Amino acid sequence: MAVGTGLNLPHLPVDSQVSGIDLSPAMLSIAAGRASRLGRPMDLRVGNAEDLPFADSSFDTVLCGLSLCGIPNPASAIGEAKRVLVPGGRLLLLDHVASSWPPVYAMQWLLERATVRMAGEYFTRRQLPLVEAAGFTVVEVERLKAGSIERIHALKP
């Protein structure tokens, strides 16, 4: 979901089939160029994470890095990820979240006053409750950078 310019491509297993969506055709163009330079074929589509253009149970893994913080309805995007995953499929998330350290949280809250209006970017959301509410089985959670970055590994039952 929200592949952007494909910066994560070099970190994905070389034998994996990769599909990516993004709202921005310009970002997808950059991702396509990056994939070509790496010799990695990709199925890139203009699309919305809240309405994925893929059939049910199409993927064994959904990766969403630093994107749910800018998606208007992250619960809907997580629901779509669940829909396109096969049973036992992995959801891998990395995102900005509300810091567990009060001074950092205060700065995030202030910054968000501008970023939400200018770019739809949230810093004080938390994806973990949404993943749990969607019925995923959470395997691992790690918080980094004063609790302001969260990594989630969850499985579709």
Domain ranges of the chain: 1-47, 56-155
What band does 149 get if pLDDT is binned at 50, 70 and 90? very high
Two structure tokens written together for 38: 């790496």
Hey, how many other C-beta atoms are within 10 angstroms of the C-beta on 9? 18
Two structure tokens written together for 125: 């959301």
The pLDDT, as a whole number, for residue 152 is 98
Question: What are the pLDDT digits (tens) for 122-138?
Answer: 999 999 999 999 999 99
User: Rounded to whole angstroms, what are the CA distances from 109 to 77, 94, 117, 145?
Assistant: 23, 19, 13, 16
Quick check: 4 pLDDT over 90?
yes
Nearest to 81 by CA among 42, 134, 9: 134
Q: What is the mean pLDDT of the chain?
A: 96
The pLDDT, as a whole number, for residue 60 is 97
Q: Which residues on neighbouring strands pair with residue 46, listed in sequence order?
A: 22
Quick check: 151 pLDDT over 90?
yes
Q: Percent of the chain at pLDDT above 70?
A: 100
Q: Percent of the chain at pLDDT above 90?
A: 98
Top-level class of domain 56-155: alpha beta
Quick check: 1 pLDDT over 90?
no
Question: What are the pLDDT digits (tens) for 56-109?
Answer: 999 999 999 999 999 999 999 999 999 999 999 999 999 999 999 999 999 999
Indicate the helix (H) or strand (E) that contains 103: helix 102-119
The pLDDT, as a whole number, for residue 136 is 98
Indicate the helix (H) or strand (E) that contains 86: strand 85-96
Q: For the chain, what is the radius of gyration of the CA atoms? A: 16
- CA gap 83, 89 in Å, rounded: 10
